[in-house]
């Protein structure tokens, strides 16, 4: 293994200071994973981590799982590990937390670095497969570390504290965004449950209150309200009710139509009235059948006309 953190002036730096200070240097690599280590530095420490993660990756490969590809973004502020397709940040290793970086001289593809986790304060060793450019990536991290250390000396340590505060705030923002997404999902679930609870079951019919009926199981009759002419929507008064001409209100023989509810005894002509009187007298006496039998009126009384 080869250590990269010697703060001597190294004429073999590959990038300009501006590229690492104002931007970042990207590398596409395969991510073998990370594992906890006991010490923050040491060649043997990273060798054990590499052997462990290689063995785990070999098992996953036999199960059909491919090694994930990621993008490394190296700058004086740290090393970011992003998903190669979605560009989502998987890990953000601040540079002042990286304590060791090395590449494997026996395998030009493998390089590692050890970083102290900000939450658990445990040391994690990250291992990558870099397609024969492990030494270049190691030197890039070393150059970023050298530039960051010089900036630290120039600012008297204030810049590092500011970066720590910014990192803490960014972490808090991510936590709040995650919490906000969870609350939105819970609210959506509650709204869906509320809509389901108000929907009637499939195939059910809405029940209406039964109408009150009388003893004959009929709806009682309620007289309609008096019809009052209402003005039209355009403000004009309603048309007057239509009445038939007097000559049309007579029947075919020129007489007034018969109304049994309005006519009285004096309304009949004299010849008709005499016939009615004669019929009334006949009902009073009963009905004589053949053989001299007399049928009385209802309940043994003669039939009387009202």
Q: What is the pLDDT along the chain (306 residues), one digit of tens a residue?
A: 444 444 444 456 889 989 999 999 999 999 999 999 999 999 999 999 999 999 999 999 899 999 999 999 999 999 999 999 999 999 999 988 999 999 888 888 999 999 999 888 899 999 999 887 888 999 999 999 999 888 888 877 666 667 677 777 787 888 888 888 889 999 988 888 888 877 666 665 555 555 566 656 666 656 554 555 555 555 566 666 655 555 555 666 666 665 554 555 555 667 777 766 766 665 555 554 444 555 555 444 444 444
Using alpha carbons, list the distances in angstroms from residue 196 to 160, 185, 188, 203, 208.
54, 17, 12, 15, 22
Query: Is pTM, for the whole model, over 0.75?
Result: no
8 A C-beta contact, residue 10 and residue 4: no
Q: Specify the DSSP class assigned to residue 291.
A: T
Between CA 156 and CA 162 the distance in angstroms is: 12
Check residue 256 and give its pLDDT: 65
Report the run of H or E that residue 27 belongs to, with start and end.
strand 25-37
Q: Phi and psi at residue 200, in whole multiples of 5°?
A: -70, 155
Q: Specify the DSSP class assigned to residue 253.
A: T
Q: Which residues pair with 31 in a beta bridge?
A: 128
């Amino acid at each position: 293994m080869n250590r990269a953190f010697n703060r001597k002036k190294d004429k073999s730096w590959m990038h300009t200071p501006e590229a690492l200070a104002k931007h970042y240097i990207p590398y596409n690599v395969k991510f073998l994973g990370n594992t906890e280590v006991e010490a923050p530095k040491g060649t043997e420490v990273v060798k054990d981590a590499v052997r462990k993660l290689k063995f785990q990756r070999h098992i996953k490969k036999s199960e059909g799982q491919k090694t994930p590809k990621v993008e490394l973004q190296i700058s004086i502020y740290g090393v970011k590990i992003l998903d190669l397709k979605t560009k989502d940040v998987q890990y953000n290793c601040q540079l002042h937390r990286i304590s060791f970086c090395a590449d494997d001289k026996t395998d030009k593809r493998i390089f590692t670095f050890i970083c102290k986790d900000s939450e658990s304060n445990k040391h994690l060793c990250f291992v990558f497969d870099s397609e024969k450019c492990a030494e270049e990536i190691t030197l890039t991290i070393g150059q970023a570390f050298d530039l960051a250390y010089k900036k630290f000396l120039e600012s008297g340590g204030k810049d590092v504290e500011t970066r720590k505060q910014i990192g803490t705030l960014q972490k808090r923002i991510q936590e709040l965004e995650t919490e906000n997404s969870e609350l939105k999902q819970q609210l959506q679930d509650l709204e869906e449950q509320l809509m389901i609870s108000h929907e009637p079951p499939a195939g059910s019919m809405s029940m209406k209150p039964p109408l009150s009926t009388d003893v004959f199981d009929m709806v009682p009759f309620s007289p309609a309200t008096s019809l009052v002419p209402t003005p039209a929507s355009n403000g004009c008064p309603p048309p007057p009710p239509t009445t038939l001409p007097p000559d049309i209100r007579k029947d075919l023989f020129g007489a007034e139509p018969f109304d049994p509810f309005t006519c009285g005894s004096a309304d009949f002509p004299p010849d008709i009235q005499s016939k009615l009187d004669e019929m009334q007298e006949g009902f009073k006496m009963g009905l004589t059948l053949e053989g001299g039998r007399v049928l009385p009126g209802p309940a043994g009384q003669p039939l009387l006309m009202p």
